[in-house]
Structure 1
Amino acid sequence: MTAFQILEMKHFMAKLLTEDCFDSFLLEKASVSCAVSYEIDGRVNPEFYQDDETPDAGYLFLPWKSIRPVLFQMIRGKHTPLSFKFVLHLMPQYVPGVMKGADPSLKSEQVQALVLTIKYDGSAIRLTTGTAFSSFVPDKTLDAQWDKTMRQFLSRKEIACRE
């Protein structure tokens, strides 16, 4: 697990809410505190959809790109939010690519999620990486690989941060 502090908040928020930068993620949950507080459970409700519709490619959680415009509308305005927190999961199809640098005995079905938590506390934005497994895994190479992947991702997307 690594924590990154965002150095250019306005630039980061534009990338987060108006660009496709984080569209390879799913939203597990969100909380936003502005004039009122919002709590969003990102779990898809399949019963909402008609029989001929497929709810967001069969994901358990809503793709970030689907909820991004809604969150942008909540946050935008002349007042800065008091706080927010987004818990994102890397889309399952990208997990094997991250696993290439980890322990080869680790199976993709053991990986429940590669998590990125984005938290704003009123003064700073911090991104924290995490891993979730479906069973106990003593090896920590995937944790280190996920941290490395996020460092590379932030650099490629020109998001200035420090650990």
Structure 2
Amino acid sequence: MITIPLKTKPSMSHLLLKDTFDQFSFIEGEITTFNTFTIDGYLQKDFFEEKPEDSHAHWKDVREFCFQIIRGKRTPLNFKIILSLAPENFPGFLNQQNVTGFRPEDIQGMYLNLSYDGLNLTCITGISMKTFTMDKSLERAWDDAAQKKLLELELVV
């Protein structure tokens, strides 16, 4: 787990206006403007005629809704948005990063916790496993990959 300070304006553009994070799962969000809006990313499967396989919405499905809450002349007082690498991307990530000793089905989530306090935007990385492990290689690989991607996008302060 690492904390990465982000440049607010370009990061907000990537988060809300571009498709940079669209393939991530949306876990939850809380946005405070004139009210506090809390959004649970868990899909209500009974709502759909054809039940989705995913447990959570993708960011692309709620991005516009969040943008509508945030946009305006005044910045939000604060917000917290939690994204996770989508489960269908776990095998590719493990392969690409040469992380062995983990099965995709044992990973609960690989998270980007985006937090804005009214002045500063930060990203805290994290992983969650369905089983206990002392092996930190996946956590280190996720931290490194997240930081590298954010640096490539020139979003890091």
Shorter-chain TM band: over 0.9
Asked if structure 2 preserves the Cα contact closer than 8 Å seen for 1:29 and 1:86, the reply is yes
Residue 35 of structure 1, CA deviation:
0.6
Question: Given the alignment, which residue of 89, 93, 112 partners 1:94?
Answer: 89
Alignment of 1:1-163 (within 5 A): 1-6=1-6, 8-50=7-49, 53-55=50-52, 58-100=53-95, 101=97, 103-161=99-157
Within 1, Cα distance between the matches of 2:47 and 2:138?
A: 36
Gaps of 5+ in 1: none
Distance of 2:101 and 2:25 partners within structure 1: 26
Identity across matched positions, percent: 32
2:26 aligns to what SS in structure 1?
strand
TM normalised by structure 1 equals 0.90
How far has the Cα of 1:155 moved from its partner?
2.3
Report the CA distance between 1:103 and its aligned residue.
4.6
Task: Flag structure 2 segments of 5+ consecutive residues without an equivalent.
Answer: none
Q: Deviations over 1:54-74 (max 9, x none)?
A: 43xx21111000100000000
TM-score with structure 2 setting the length: 0.94
Bigger CA drift: 149-158 or 23-32?
A: 149-158
Matched residue type, 1:91: A
Deviations 1:116-150 (A, max 9, x none): 10000111001000000001011000000001110
What is the SS of the residue equivalent to 1:29? strand
Name the Cα RMSD after superposition. 1.3
Deviation at 1:10?
Answer: 1.1
